[in-house]
Amino acid sequence: SLDTVERYRRRYGDDYPETMSASLNLAIDQRHVGNLDEARKLGEETLQRYRSTLGEKHPHTVSAQVNLAIVIRQLGEPQRAYRSDRESLDVLNERLGPDHPSTLTCATNLASDLFAMGDAQAAFDLDTDTLARSERILGVEHPSTLAVGVNLALDLRALGREQEADLLHADNMARFRRS
């Protein structure tokens, strides 16, 4: 919350790791309640702090960049979000490997960017690969795996594959209820 961020800022300063983490969490909270302009402002400020203190390729910096890209896509700039997520995915593949949970999450976001740009086939291809890896690494009932499955069902629907989309959606919902 804002109180937590302010308390950390007063006590430790803006560049303290926990202050930056609390600021990123506040930006995510703002996104979740629909305050996208505030989420973007906080996200940009936090990303800049991470870059200046930890460097461009630190996983925390990349996480802040991925979260900001979600806001940017939701604000109607999917091409900009795509460029940011593509860069983030390249760094995460290099630093953490293709099967790390953060890499998988970023790949899911990149597929969402592609979908938002109107390229359902490319989104489908990426989501298909990400779902297979997510199921293998995280398990079929993990929330991140289920999120990829939901995206893949949307991809299928956009590609005119309604029956497959319906079956996948039903399967995801059944797994979601069990988890």
Measured N-to-C along each axis, helices 59-74 and 17-32 cross at an angle, to the nearest 10 degrees, of 20
Residue 42 in tokens: 């906080």
Give residue 178's pLDDT.
85
- CA-based R_g, the chain, Å: 17
Mean pLDDT, 10 residues at a time, the chain of 179 residues: 90 93 94 96 96 95 97 98 98 96 97 98 98 96 94 97 96 88
pLDDT of residue 76: 97
Name 79's Cβ contacts closer than 8 Å, sequence gap at least 6. Answer: 117
Global pTM value: 0.92
* 12 residue type, one letter: Y
N-to-C CA span, the chain: 28
Cα of 38 vs its chain's centroid, Å:
18
- What pLDDT was estimated at residue 179? 77
Chain center to CA of 60: 13
Q: What is the pLDDT of residue 141?
A: 92
